[in-house]
């Protein structure tokens, strides 16, 4: 079946609404407008305004409403238009959704799903091109997902809604327009494990989200040079599946971590630290990272392109690791 990442997200939401009358969607422009990225187009007409709820421009307010609805037994899907706007709801996410199950000794669950667009590459300038998923992956009590494939965009939501704790799903804005084949035999994915998207023997490329297709493209280029790169799609940023990463590094002995977040304090930094702690002697070369430049993401297309990780940079990082061997 051929479909777009956008349509995969829409089908996932529609299935959730059909499957459970407790489930509803709310956020800015999700109803009449059909969503800022057209993901929710047509859902208001099908399900009505009680289940597709357009909210005011007040992230702290409607995220709090979602938390309350989850505590009351409903299954809310909260859409935050872009992840920078989620900072306006950070108190609700971190101090309420993530902590209430712990602070009540497990008496309350918060089965809340928050979807948000992330990343750069669409010329949305410095205030709307953030990659903040690494920030949220720092917070205990949250599960953080980053679907980088059609199958994950299609099936992660159902698994997230089945989780009794809050789940954040970061959908990269560049991926919405991508199209591909969806395996008709697939009907679910797990939200616990990373996945090997390409096998290789010479170097591990560890990544997620929109950096996944860049790593796969880099692996193709490297294969033509005789270098076999293994590509690991993290998929789940909290909790990190380090067992899959370490198993890959044990095979290849070299690793490049590709992360659209800024290098300082990033997911890539966390993975590098854990490899140093738990797999140092599996490595035959230093850990390398390819991240976004440490600047606000520029608006100008040519500057934005060089500010974000590129396939050519990944290839260059791998060449630097394997050249002496």
Catalytic residue of the set 7, 28, 59, 151: 59
Q: Where are the alpha helices (DSSP H) in the chain?
A: 5-19, 43-47, 59-71, 90-92, 100-103, 133-136, 150-162, 211-224, 242-252, 267-278, 301-307, 311-322
pLDDT tens digits for 86-109? 999 999 999 999 999 999 999 999
Going along the chain from its start, the domains and CATH numbers come out as: 2-181 (3.40.50.970), 195-322 (3.40.50.920)
**Is the overall model pTM greater than 0.85, yes or no?**
yes
pLDDT tens digits for 110-150? 999 999 999 999 999 999 999 999 999 999 999 999 999 99
SS3 292: strand
pLDDT tens digits for 43-85? 999 999 999 999 999 999 999 999 999 999 999 999 999 999 9
Angle at which helix 267-278 crosses helix 242-252, to 10 degrees, equals: 60
Using CA atoms, how far apart are residues 307 and 302, in angstroms rounded to an integer? 9
Catalytic residue of the set 7, 28, 79, 128: 128
Using CA atoms, how far apart are residues 218 and 315, in angstroms rounded to an integer? 6
- Residue 246: HSE in the Cβ half-sphere, 13 Å Cα cutoff: 14
What pLDDT is attached to residue 324? Answer: 57
User: Does 128 participate in catalysis according to the annotation?
Assistant: yes
pLDDT tens digits for 215-239? 999 999 999 999 999 999 999 999 9
What pLDDT is attached to residue 142? Answer: 98
User: Does 59 participate in catalysis according to the annotation?
Assistant: yes
């Amino acid at each position: 079946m051929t479909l777009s990442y956008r349509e995969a997200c829409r089908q996932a939401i529609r299935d959730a609404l059909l499957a459970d009358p407790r489930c509803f969607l709310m956020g800015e422009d999700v109803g009449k407008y059909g969503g800022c990225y057209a993901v929710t187009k047509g859902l208001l007409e099908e399900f009505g305004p009680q289940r597709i709820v357009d909210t005011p421009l007040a992230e702290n307010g409607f995220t709090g409403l979602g938390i309350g609805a989850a505590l009351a037994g409903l299954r809310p899907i909260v859409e935050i238009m872009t992840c920078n706007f989620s900072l306006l709801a950070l108190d609700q996410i971190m101090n309420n959704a993530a902590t209430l199950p712990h602070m009540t000794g497990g008496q309350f669950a918060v089965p809340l799903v928050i979807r948000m667009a992330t990343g750069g590459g669409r010329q949305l300038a410095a205030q709307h091109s953030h990659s903040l998923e690494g920030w949220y992956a720092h917070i205990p009590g949250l599960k953080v997902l980053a679907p980088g494939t059609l199958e994950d965009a299609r099936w992660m939501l159902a698994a997230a809604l089945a989780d009794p704790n809050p789940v954040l799903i970061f959908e990269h804005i560049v991926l919405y327009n991508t199209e591909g084949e969806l395996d008709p035999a697939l009907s679910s994915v797990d939200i616990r494990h990373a996945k090997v998207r390409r096998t290789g023997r010479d170097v591990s490329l560890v990544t997620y989200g929109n950096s996944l297709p860049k790593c796969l493209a880099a692996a193709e280029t490297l294969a033509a040079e005789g270098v076999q790169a293994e590509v690991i799609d993290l998929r789940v940023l909290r909790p990190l599946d380090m067992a899959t990463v370490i198993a890959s590094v044990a095979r290849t002995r070299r690793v490049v971590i590709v992360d659209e977040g800024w290098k300082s304090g990033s997911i890539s930094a966390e993975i590098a630290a854990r490899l140093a702690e738990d797999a140092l002697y599996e490595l035959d070369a230093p850990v390398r990272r390819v991240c976004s430049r440490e600047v606000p993401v520029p608006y100008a297309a040519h500057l934005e392109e060089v500010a974000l990780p590129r396939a050519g940079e990944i290839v260059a990082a791998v060449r630097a690791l394997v050249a002496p061997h």
